[in-house]
Amino acid sequence: MPIDDTLNAFVDHGRVEVLPTKQGALSGLTFALKDFFDLAGTPTGAGNPEWLATHPVPTKSTPIADRLLQAGAKLVGKTHTDELAWSLNGENAHYGTPINPAAPGRIPGGSSSGSAAATAGSLVDFAIGSDTGGSVRLPASYCGIYGIRTTHGRIPLDAAVPLAPSYDVAGWFARSPELMQQVGDVLLDGVRASRPPKRLLIARDLFAAVDEKARHALQPSVERLKAIVGTSEEVDVAGGERDAWRNAFRVLQSEEAWAAHGAWISAVKPQLGPGVKERFAAAAVMDPAEIAAAKPVRAAIIERMNVLLAGDAVLVLPTVPGIAPLRATPDAELDVFRARAIELLCVAGHAGTPQLSMPVAKLDDCPIGLSIMGARDCDEDLLALAVALGKV
């Protein structure tokens, strides 16, 4: 039976139902797929009607969908995304804004907005998203659910629309840490068991970057994590370089996004919505000197995070600066909030490390997430720690 989409979470061209191909660990569960990933026989729209009209219907599905179907899960549709996945708001000028079930008057966050809304609203058991600059972690925080950005390259992104390939990863949402872990058992390659962290690192400078009320709301869960891990210390992650880290992300993401889509945009001249239009216009005229200067900044960030997270350490940090902004917030205000959010979100993107956002608190009756980050390929450790925290 088709989903009764009360949240505007699903795309019309993706209202399909695909039965499991086998019985397995996820039998009896339903999932949704962001309309950024291909599904054989179903169009991929990538959040833009002209993309939908100018690209052939895929003949091959993303391996992510195949794995989940083989594990017994049923696919019940494809979900809305911001245009070409290049936004953090979840407001699509062509298709509207999915409802945030946890805060109906506020945006759901993007670009995996439909997947987050469908999960938070119990239309599905779990949903697949993608994360380049925060597009799983941020909507997970806004919608009061769990969401993971996986280690870069850990899960193949074949048969998916690129945005910035050296940052793009797959991720997923669920309402419980146990189901997050179950999905991870299927989608991760299974070559390593989880290990308990030996040290908890508290990101002093990143907590200082969020509102005092947000810090206060998150602090009880930080204390619970400290009790679970046993050994903790405060560290400065970016120190005074947060702005430089954010700018390097902007530059390098823009370079890769234009390389991925510039030819199509130049040929088709699609009608892009606010924010996305301006970002692509800026990407088209990037200064090569600015790009060259950003690359060693990223290299230094990678080295910094490799050292910081070595030895089974886990970093705890706020997912985003605060609760979801109200729907129809002026673009200028959203841009300011987006910049603050990217200062927190770009760390894992630059370093290619996994990060898991957990719905641990509320502020003004709206959800706010706390994140844990591990070294590359330590995704399982984060999932296990989230389960442990959920039991405390």
Query: pLDDT confidence of 50, banded at 50, 70, 90?
Result: very high
Looking up tokens 């990863």 gives: 169
**Which CATH class, in words, describes the domain spanning 199-242+287-391?**
alpha beta
How far is 208 from 358, CA to CA, in rounded Å?
19
Annotate the chain with three-state secondary structure.
Answer: CCCCCCCCCECHHHCCCECCCCCCCCCCCEEEEECCECECCECCCCCCHHHHHHCCCCCCCCHHHHHHHHCCCEEEEEECCCHHHCCCCCCECCCECCCCCCCCCECCCCCCHHHHHHHHCCCCCEEEEEECCCCCHHHHHHHCCEEEECCCCCCCCCCECCCCCCCCEEEEEECCHHHHHHHHHHHCCCCCCCCCCCEEEEEHHHHCCCCHHHHHHHHHHHHHHHHHHCCEEEECCCHHHHHHHHHHHHHHHHHHHHHHHHHHHHHHCCCCCCCHHHHHHHHCCCCHHHHHHHHHHHHHHHHHHHHHCCCCEEEEEECCCCCCCECCCCHHHHHHHHHHHHHHHHHHHHHCCCEEEEEEEEECCEEEEEEEECCCCCHHHHHHHHHHHHHC
What is the structure's pLDDT at 1?
A: 66
What pLDDT digit, counting tens, does each position of 276-295 carry? 999 999 999 999 999 999 99
Residue 59 CA: distances (Å) to CA of 39, 55, 62, 129: 8, 12, 10, 21
Q: Is residue 186 over pLDDT 90?
A: yes
Active site positions, annotated: 34, 111, 135
Q: What percent of the chain has pLDDT over 90?
A: 96
Tokens of 89: 């708001």
How far is 268 from 51, CA to CA, in rounded Å?
9
Q: What is the mean pLDDT of residues 75-83?
A: 98
Note whether 76 and 32 are within 8 A (CB). Answer: yes
Q: What is the mean pLDDT of the chain?
A: 97
Note whether 348 and 138 are within 8 A (CB). Answer: no
What pLDDT digit, counting tens, does each position of 235-247 carry? 999 989 999 999 9
pTM: 0.98
Beta bridge partners of 42: 39
Residue ranges of the chain assigned to CATH 3.90.1300.10: 12-187, 199-242+287-391
What is the structure's pLDDT at 192?
A: 78
**Ramachandran category for residue 354: left, alpha or beta (phi over 0 → left; psi -120 to 50 → alpha):** beta
How far is 24 from 34, CA to CA, in rounded Å?
22
360 phi, psi to nearest 5 deg: -100, -10
Q: Is residue 8 over pLDDT 70?
A: yes
Q: What is the mean pLDDT of residues 245-257?
A: 98
What pLDDT digit, counting tens, does each position of 114-153 carry? 999 999 999 999 999 999 999 999 999 999 999 999 999 9
What is the structure's pLDDT at 193?
A: 83
- The residues, any chain, with a CB within 8 Å of residue 352's CB and separated by 6 or more, are 151, 152, 153, 302, 376
User: CATH: 3.40.50.300, 3.20.20.80, 3.90.1300.10, 2.170.190.11. Which one for 12-187?
Assistant: 3.90.1300.10
